[in-house]
């Protein structure tokens, strides 16, 4: 939530000439680099190989291009599993900074048994002079990563490595970035930044991971690095240009070649996505700029009056006293009213979330600050003083999550606050971390009170202040003993803010253990996510914690959910929101979504109506907009209200199915939202389709994302696809068929895959009320009149699940069987069964146990068993005739 982040960018670009444009030089490789040779004995290790490298030159030509060349390297090759290969190129002296081996960074797997090279799905091959390597998939001899005849550069502040890829390769990943799902020729910069979702620019998170689908088979690669980098995707090549650390690669080569199996292998390494509680799957609403608690209560009431389901009400920083964490504005948001508001929500089976930022006001009358000073938990300047930047309260300090006291400090603040207000979840924002000035602009100014933000000052004053701050930052110098150019590395990554220290903590600031912020900037929000999640668990260890974070890193999805930040109320942002959610699914952040109707600028009735329709199906679904913009609650326009009611009715009906898909994501690592190409990689015509959405494998959404359109073209892969609303069938005998669908303004086309059995509920106003209704089964027959499906049931809230059912349904030759694990023994039952498809028309009666000759109701395109009353505590069979 940054009302003015787009202004920051303009200011930063004005002040700094250190911005690298996407020129030919950016795309080029370091052609003069001497490279490395194998020098010494290659050693076979328990894990694989260790290969010593030495610089391939005795002259100075071509070295020290952007940093100090490191002469002696090791390549450690580890066959970690049959489908995962680890290749780390690092300095022999071990002076380069790695991602911390802890939950605050990347907890490296403890491997007791490595795969043998013979059993692996891949071969590792290398050349000695000059050194290069290939990772080859054994099944088809395809080189999935190939550095042959491409430069290897290893300097203290510049690493470069490239791989060949086919021309027009199908590359997905490399984020966080607002861009189409499939990567084209582009520079993707990974450096966490507070920015209002500029297209193609670096924003809040860093995920140096990609999947390639080649000839219907998928593989993937992860560069485990917390340093800033440019990743160049251009015709025939991917090039990494990194400003520190080591080249720590993991390659994923599943035997099947299926994209879903790549996701499983990837999350085996980084951690499985978090499992949401039932309530987290309901519709949510927030805005920045509600003037008082009366306004928030009115929004909740008007949702109810309009009969638009609302599960969770949010309050942004508006509730705070002078925007300080863990305080309240006692005039507009009195403490007793905030507490009573939460109680009323809970009485109505609804939920309550508030925002907390990491920046702490530097004021000696403010307890969170004085406690932090006493515990010495804040990020430091190189001289040992506290680094003091500027965020919403004015001058602020920033917790150093790696300090031994930081967890205790933050946990107390979170536990006390959540307990006091009665919150169900927390929203952690501005944690890239964001800072509105350059360097430690608050040094010596503790207790100075609220300061004017630089974007509110005249341009000449802004320029002078910025120049003074930059001079002070340079004068402060580096941490002792660090001779790198941390402020202005010679290779300037293509960061939209220009100088790396712009709009964030200075790169020369120090974390516990003497680690420069330069080296771990990209994992600051990730570390806060882990500590905040654990604090929520300490506050209530019985329930699944809700934490939503803006800044993420590799593995964040196992701790928190994510929204895609400060987007815009524009049609192209509606369209690209689907791609950004696809990317987060790829990164293992299944619980993710975009601000529905847009955050910045004013929406329109048509735009908000279309956005509500697709946004109602985001894994994390919330309407949210910015201060100063027109209201955009969906009840304000009748078309928007009706589209919301219709779409949310489908979502709430599908909650058992969606919850089951989330359980698969939590257990296996697959995405909740999936592109068609990732489910049908054999059809290359789907490669650029990032508008249609598969929820799991069986529910297909085809939203309208263009202004003025009342119909939409959808691609349908081979099979049968049934319209959710009227059961009309689209039959595709082979390949992919494009079909034009009617899509009036209040309607979003939804289809069920033939061959699926989808568990549903009867939609009610809240998620809890919906789950209290009986289960219903929708059996969508394929061409062979068969179908299968799955249902996962637990209590929907417990952190440690003790009783759960995992039921598989199978329909074949008129017989429906239910088998699996039946350990959730509460009184859940199936109320009805609907069978759709040509094979359903001939059915007339049903036998359930000893009950024979039960008549079926007829519907257009379907037959229905009503009042089935089938218990879900044990296996059963239903025979249709």
Low-confidence stretches of the chain (pLDDT beneath 50): 2-20
146, 194, 432, 774: which is the annotated catalytic residue? 432
Mark whether 429 is an active-site residue. Answer: yes
413, 429, 470, 664: which is the annotated catalytic residue? 429
- Residue 448: per-residue pLDDT: 87
Q: Taking Cα atoms as reference points, which of 789, 798, 790, 781 lies closest to residue 836?
A: 781
- The Cα–Cα gap between 543 and 541 comes to 6
User: Matching CATH topology for 31-258 and 774-880?
Assistant: yes
Q: Taking Cα atoms as reference points, which of 641, 573, 645, 586 lies closest to residue 619?
A: 586
Mark whether 542 is an active-site residue. Answer: no
Mark whether 432 is an active-site residue. Answer: yes
Could you tell me if residue 861 is left (phi over 0), alpha (psi between -120 and 50 degrees) or otherwise beta? left
- Six token digits for residue 732: 């595709």
Domain range summary for the chain, segments of one domain joined by + = 1-29+357-412+423-559, 31-258, 774-880
pLDDT in tens, 90-107: 999 999 999 999 999 999
- Residue 1: per-residue pLDDT: 56
- The Cα–Cα gap between 172 and 671 comes to 14
- Residue 22: per-residue pLDDT: 54
- Residue 12: per-residue pLDDT: 36
- Residue 449: per-residue pLDDT: 76
Pairing of strands 389-391, 394-397: antiparallel
pTM for the model: 0.96
Task: Tell me the chain's radius of gyration from C-alpha atoms.
Answer: 28
pLDDT in tens, 715-745: 999 999 999 999 999 999 999 999 999 999 9
Residue 471: in which H helix or E strand, if any? Answer: helix 459-476
- Residue 16: per-residue pLDDT: 34
- The CATH class, in words, for 774-880 is mainly beta
248, 566, 633, 690: which is the annotated catalytic residue? 566
Kindly list the distances between the CA atom of residue 597 and the CA atoms of 145, 572, 606, 762, 856, in Å, as whole numbers in the listed order.
Answer: 40, 12, 10, 27, 43
Residue 651: in which H helix or E strand, if any? Answer: helix 638-653
Kindly list the distances between the CA atom of residue 750 and the CA atoms of 43, 355, 609, 662, 742, in Å, as whole numbers in the listed order.
Answer: 57, 34, 16, 19, 11
- Residue 57: per-residue pLDDT: 85
Q: Helix, strand or coil for residue 369?
A: helix
- The CATH class, in words, for 31-258 is mainly beta
| Beta carbons within 10 angstroms of residue 143's beta carbon | 18
User: Which fold, 1-29+357-412+423-559?
Assistant: TIM Barrel (3.20.20)
């Amino acid at each position: 939530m940054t009302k003015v982040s787009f202004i920051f960018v303009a200011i930063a670009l004005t002040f700094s000439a250190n911005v690298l444009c996407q020129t030919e030089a950016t795309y080029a490789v370091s052609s003069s680099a001497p490279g490395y040779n194998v020098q010494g004995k290659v050693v076979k290790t328990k894990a694989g190989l260790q290969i010593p490298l030495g610089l391939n030159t005795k002259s100075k030509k071509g070295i020290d291009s952007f940093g100090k060349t490191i002469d002696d390297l090791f390549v450690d090759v580890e066959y970690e599993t049959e489908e995962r290969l680890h290749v780390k190129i690092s300095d022999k002296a071990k002076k380069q900074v790695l991602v911390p081996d802890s939950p605050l960074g990347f907890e490296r797997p403890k491997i007791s048994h490595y795969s043998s090279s013979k059993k692996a799905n891949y071969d590792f091959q290398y050349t000695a002079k000059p050194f290069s390597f290939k990772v080859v998939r054994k099944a088809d001899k395809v080189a999935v990563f190939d550095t042959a005849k491409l430069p290897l550069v290893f300097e203290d502040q510049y690493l470069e490595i490239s791989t060949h890829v086919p021309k027009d390769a199908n590359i997905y990943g490399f984020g966080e970035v607002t861009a189409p799902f499939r990567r084209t020729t582009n520079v993707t910069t990974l450096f966490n930044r507070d920015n209002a979702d500029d297209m193609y620019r670096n924003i809040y998170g860093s995920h140096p991971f990609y999947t390639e689908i080649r000839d219907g088979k998928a593989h993937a690669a992860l560069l485990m690095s917390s340093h800033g980098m440019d990743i160049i995707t251009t015709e025939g090549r991917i090039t990494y240009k990194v400003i520190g650390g080591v080249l720590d690669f993991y390659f994923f080569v599943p035997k099947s070649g299926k994209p879903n199996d790549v996701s499983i292998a990837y999350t085996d390494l980084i951690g499985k996505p978090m499992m949401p509680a039932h309530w987290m799957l309901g519709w949510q609403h927030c805005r920045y700029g509600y003037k008082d608690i009366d306004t928030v209560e009115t929004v909740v009431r008007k949702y109810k009056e309009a009969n638009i389901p609302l599960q969770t009400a949010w309050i942004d920083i508006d509730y705070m006293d002078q925007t300080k964490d863990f305080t309240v504005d006692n005039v507009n948001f009195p403490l007793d009213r905030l507490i009573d508001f939460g109680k009323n929500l809970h009485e109505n089976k609804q939920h309550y979330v508030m925002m907390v930022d990491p920046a702490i006001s530097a004021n000696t009358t403010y307890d969170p600050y004085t406690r932090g000073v006493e515990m010495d938990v804040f990020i430091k300047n190189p001289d040992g003083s506290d680094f003091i930047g500027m965020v919403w309260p004015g001058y602020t300090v920033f917790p150093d999550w790696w300090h031994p006291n930081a967890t205790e400090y933050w946990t107390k603040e979170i536990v006390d606050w959540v307990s006091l207000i009665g919150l169900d979840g927390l929203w952690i924002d501005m944690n890239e971390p964001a800072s509105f000035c350059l360097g430690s602009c608050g040094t010596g100014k503790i207790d100075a009170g609220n300061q004017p933000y630089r974007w509110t000052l005249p341009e000449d004053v802004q320029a002078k202040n910025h120049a003074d701050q930059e001079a002070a930052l340079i004068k402060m110098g580096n941490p002792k003993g660090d001779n790198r150019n941390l402020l202005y590395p010679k290779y300037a990554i293509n960061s939209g803010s220009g100088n790396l220290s712009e709009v964030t903590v200075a790169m020369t600031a120090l974390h516990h253990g003497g680690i420069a912020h330069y080296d771990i900037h990209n994992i600051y929000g990730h570390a806060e996510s882990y500590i905040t999640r654990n604090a929520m668990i300490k506050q209530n260890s019985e329930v699944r914690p809700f934490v939503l974070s803006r800044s993420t890193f590799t593995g964040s999805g196992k701790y928190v959910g994510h929204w895609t930040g400060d987007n815009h109320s524009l049609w192209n942002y509606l369209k690209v929101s689907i791609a950004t959610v696809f990317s987060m699914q790829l990164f293992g952040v299944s619980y993710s979504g975009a601000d529905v109707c847009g955050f910045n600028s004013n929406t329109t009735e048509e735009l908000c109506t279309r956005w509500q329709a697709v946004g109602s199906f985001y894994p994390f679904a919330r309407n949210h907009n910015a201060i100063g913009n027109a209201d955009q609650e969906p009840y304000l326009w009748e078309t928007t209200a009706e589209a919301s009611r219709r779409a949310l009715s489908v979502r709430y009906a599908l909650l058992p199915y969606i919850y089951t898909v989330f359980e698969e994501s939590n257990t296996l690592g697959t995405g909740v939202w999936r592109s068609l190409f990732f489910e049908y990689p054999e059809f290359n015509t789907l490669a650029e389709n990032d508008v249609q959405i598969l929820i799991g494998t069986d529910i297909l959404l085809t939203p309208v994302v263009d202004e003025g359109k009342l119909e939409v073209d959808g691609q349908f892969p081979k099979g049968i696809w049934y319209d959710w609303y009227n059961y009309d069938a689209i039959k595709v005998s082979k390949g992919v068929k494009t079909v034009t669908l009617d899509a009036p303004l209040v309607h979003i086309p939804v289809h069920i895959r033939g061959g699926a059995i989808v568990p549903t509920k009867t939609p009610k106003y809240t998620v809890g009320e919906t789950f209290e209704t009986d289960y219903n089964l929708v059996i969508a027959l394929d061409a062979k009149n068969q179908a299968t499906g799955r249902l996962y049931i637990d209590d929907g809230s417990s952190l440690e699940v003790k009783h759960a059912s995992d039921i598989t349904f199978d329909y074949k030759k008129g017989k429906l069987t239910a088998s699996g694990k039946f350990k959730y023994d509460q009184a859940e039952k199936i109320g009805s069964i609907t069978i759709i498809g040509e094979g359903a028309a001939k059915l007339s009666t049903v036998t359930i146990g000893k009950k024979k000759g039960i008549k079926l109701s007829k519907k257009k395109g379907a037959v229905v068993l009503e009042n089935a009353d089938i218990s879900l505590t044990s296996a059963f069979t239903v025979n249709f005739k």
